[in-house]
Structure 1
Amino acid sequence: MSDQGILLYQWEDCQAPPALLCPYPRDAAGTHPNEAAIAPDGSLWFRTMDVNESAPLGGWYRFAPGDSRPVKMAGAMTIPNTLAWHENRVWFADSAEQLFFSARGRGILPQEMRSHAADDMTPDGSALSHEGDLITARFGHGCLSRYRIRHGTLTLAEHVPLPVTQPSCCAFGGSEGTTLFITSARKQLAAPGELDGMLLQVATGTRGAPTYRFRFD
Structure 2
Amino acid sequence: MIPDCIWPLAAELGEGPLWHAAEQRLYFVNLVGNALHAVDADGGRHTWQLPTYVCWLLPRKDGDGFMAGLRDGIVRLWLVPELRIEYLHRPLEHGDLRFNDAKVDAAGRIWAGTMNAADVSRPHGKLFRLDPDGGLRTALTEYHICNGPTFSLDGRTMYHNDSFLDRTYAYDVNADGGLDNPRLWRQFGAGEGSPDGMTVDSEDCVWIAQWGGARVCRYSPAGELLTTIAMPVAQPSSVAFGGPDLKTLYITSAWQGYDDACRAADPQAGALFSVRVDVPGVPAAQFG
Same fold (TM over 0.5): yes
Equivalence for 1:176:
245
Number of matched residues?
207
Aligned to 2:143: 77
**Does the CA-based 8 Å contact 2:72-2:98 persist in structure 1?**
no
Pairing partner for 1:33 from 94, 99, 103: 99
The structure whose RCO (Cα within 8 Å, separation 6+) is larger is 2
Quote how far apart the aligned CAs of 1:203 are.
1.1
> For residues 29 and 39 of structure 1, what CA distance do their matches in structure 2 show?
28
Are 1:191 and 2:262 counterparts?
yes
**CA deviations over 1:72-95 (Å, ceiling 9, x no partner):** 000100011121111411111111
Inter-partner Cα distance in structure 1 for 2:79 and 2:96: 31
1:28–1:58: 8 Å Cα contact kept in structure 2? no
Q: How far off its partner does 1:212 sit? A: 1.2
Is the CA contact (8 Å cut-off) linking 1:179 and 1:202 kept in structure 2?
yes
Give the fraction of aligned pairs with identical amino acids, expressed as a percent.
25
C-alpha contact (below 8 Å) 2:72/2:99 kept by paired residues: no
Q: Give the gaps of 5 or more residues in structure 1.
A: none
When residues 28 and 58 of structure 1 are mapped into structure 2, their CA distance, relative to the original with a 3 A threshold, is farther
Give unpaired runs (5+ residues) of structure 2: 1-68
Which of 99, 107, 112 matches 2:178? 107
Output the CA distance in 1 between the equivalents of 2:109 and 2:277.
Answer: 29
Name the counterpart of 1:208. 281
Per the alignment, residue 65 of structure 1 pairs with 132
The answer to whether the 8 Å contact 2:188/2:195 transfers is no
Q: Post-superposition, which runs of at least 4 consecutive aligned residues in structure 1 deviate over 4 A? A: 26-29
**How far 1:27 moved relative to its partner?**
4.9
Deviation digits for residues 150-205 of structure 1, max 9, x if unmatched?
xxx32222322111111111111112111111111112333332211111111111
Aligned residue for 1:18, secondary structure, equals: strand
Q: Contact between 1:59 and 1:72, CA under 8 Å: does it hold in 2?
A: yes
Offset of residue 28 of structure 1: 6.7
Across the aligned residues of Structure 1 and Structure 2, the Cα RMSD in angstroms comes to 1.8
Q: TM-score, structure 1 length as denominator?
A: 0.88
Question: Residue 130 of structure 1 contacts residue 210 of structure 1 at CA under 8 Å; is this kept in 2?
Answer: no
By how many angstroms is 1:29 displaced? 6.2
2:85 matches 1:18? yes
TM-score by length of 2: 0.67
What code does the residue aligned with 1:63 have?
L
CA contact (8 A) 2:195 2:209 kept: yes
